[in-house]
Structure 1
Amino acid sequence: MNYHRMFRSPRVCGRTWPLFLTCEVKMKFKLLVGALAFVAGSWAQKSAAYLIASEPAKLRAGVPTDVFVAGFGNDQGTQFLQSAIIGAKVSRDRFPQRQRVIISAVNESLSAESAMLANAGFGFRKADNDDLGKERLVLALQYLNAPISSLQFYGHANTYNGFRLQDKRDRLDHEDEEFAQLGSVLAPNAFVVFHSCNSGWLLAPAAAKMWRRPVFGSFASSDFQEMMTDGNWYYHDVGYYPDNLTRIGTTSRITQQTLECTTKKCLRLKPVNSPYVDSFGTFSRGLGFYKVFSPVDALIPQAMIHFTLLTPTVKPLTLQSSRADLLEAVKDWMCPSDKSGVRRRACSEAIDTQAFMTNPTLSFFNGTPVACNNTSCSTTVKCKVLKKLVGAVPCTTVDLDSRKSTVFSDQLKMIFKGLEQFELGTLKL
């Protein structure tokens, strides 16, 4: 399910409310009325608010480390954490010499989520009763005392106040001092991904500029996907995958260690192939894949292959994988995941024939694609927060010029440069 759809229902807060009130307003009202009772009872009932786990259980200083941050799922339960676990298991398969750390808000219970991590091979390191705030995230990353090879965020985000770690009101925003500080822990060859809705409009370009590293973001809703029995990934909402298919039973097609997959445990996030339309805005443009930003062009080809290697995909890749296998993985995350497969196949053929070389405005997006270069875009988002408080749509897209999008072509050109460097053995992964 598109994880912003929760705001469409007048019953999302557990009872029927007037349609003009948003969940945020209702919650503030309820908190105000029940403040004394909350203060009296909350500390007695509060459990750990976030946890940290790692593989191996004992980390070594100075060893390259892939970090996976899972925000509070709210209506999505532990699905962000499940996505982080699959991402970390892919890291284990493809970069066994590295360490892995998962930092996650506790969604349901510390014991259940610790057991989930232990079952996947991750040793419990720490639990804290305080919320996973931006200050604590920075401290946790600094405490690792290791170069971070990749940093991936899984969670809710919106355009006007950033990525949700735990508290929906105190998010990680691109204008925060703590946001800028995250760049100091990144290795020279690191990349960052915000697996969340609309993270490409503000978060990703601002992060790339501040951190001087490649940062991937989404220009649409990001939805959960699962691999189906035909070997392809589809959005796992009913009706978004062919009726004759079912979920794979285990991770054997995705990772070396086999885990059970039948209860929505083997997840990844991918942008939806249509413009964002939901309670935070009605946007005129978008992209159906993660867009990379980087002020240093030379870092992009390597980041593209690095990202491909760390993405749960249709091929169990290694550092010795063939160019053909890598290209299949590229098609998987760059091409649409439509139910019929029509757009997916057309996109795949265009990559095979390199049609993007001669047709720079080629696109398989179901809508008008946003035009961007490596640092900024020709469309921006403007928001009025007060509109959200009274139940109105707060954000809209504004075109700064009429330039046509070449993002699909530009990104594939960088990918093909990265493939050449991979074959030559010149990538520093």
Structure 2
Amino acid sequence: MAPEAEGVEHLLCATCQQPAKLQCPRCLELGLEKDLAAFCSQECFKGSWTEHKKLHKPSAIEGWHYCTRRGQGRSLNMPDFKWTGDLRPARIGPMRPIPDHIPKPDYYLTGYPAKEMESRQQHAVKIRTEKDVAGIREACRIGREVLDLAAAAIRPGVTTDEIDRVVHEATIAAGAYPSPYNYFNFPKSVCTSINEIICHGIPDRRKLEEGDIVNVDVSVYYKGYHGDLNETFVVGEVDEASKQLVKVTYECLHKAIAICKPGTPYREIGEVITKHAKAHGMSVVRTYCGHGIGDLFHCAPNVPHYAKNKAKGTMKVGEVFTIEPMINLGSHRDKTWPDGWTSATEDGQRSAQFEHTLVITPTGYDILTARQPTSPPLWWEREGVQPEGQAAAAAASGGS
């Protein structure tokens, strides 16, 4: 351990929160944050070694092999990749620790969701019991609270890594696990997708800029059940085309939700979404879809958002799934960054997304991730504009 490195005396121990006087030498060498590397004693350092050493993994430090190891901005070893827009990856910070008392899914250590991949729920839609729905509802309630906290933190100058911190800490404080964490080795607790990024953006050290739009996709695992939702937010003053993109995407989601009831074919969701997006000169992403959710993060049914899709089956009481349309200003096609996760529009134009988890009821549906009166307002709510489809959705659900 390095003794009393400069500034360490003002930090707290990463293990017991007592004043710290020591720092992990490997963390110093790698240039990691001092608050993650500070300890009050050798005993605390040794006691936390099993978790702490994960911060030294190449995937956590190097940012998926090509993000900067020190400082900010572009890496000297940026891959030879044809970026589609202006956005570039910045340094990705280390994975934040998960306390021992938090119940964890099977992929926590391995990065592979074996239970999910081997489940028959990948092929057959499960009818959820009242107990299941109650558990999913509670996970969704926590997810909503976490997303609202993340939304309140968004402003110019804030990094998406800071948003990840807010999400991670709020999820842990609620006794839940951030579902994306190490899911197929995803290195963070939330997805943050800026401007031309369609989905699965990895939080990093890039600061949000005036005029950006950013999607925050929150998923939590609580007492054996997952909840999933996302929203797209404007950062400061945003151009009119981006504002309309965000609003139309929200309307696409709520118009699709409004048709949900027992007997509705899943393929009809894509028809409704495409009709509204196309009427505004926008396109619908086809690569990604909504999904079933419950004791597994992703399962049947698949819920495509584009027209003339081949989705099978009709909605039944007790089925729980997400609808999460991704709408682009330009082409619907996407291109994945070399990190294997970040999906960008092929033409560099902007993309937006909104998502809810819902359950089919005898009379329609119930939105389990519904916005609350305390949720930070979206841009049109601040300006007193009524989005299309919202009133119809509320009426169809009995006001849920």
> Is TM (by shorter chain) over 0.5?
no
TM-score (norm 2): 0.29
TM-score (norm 1): 0.28
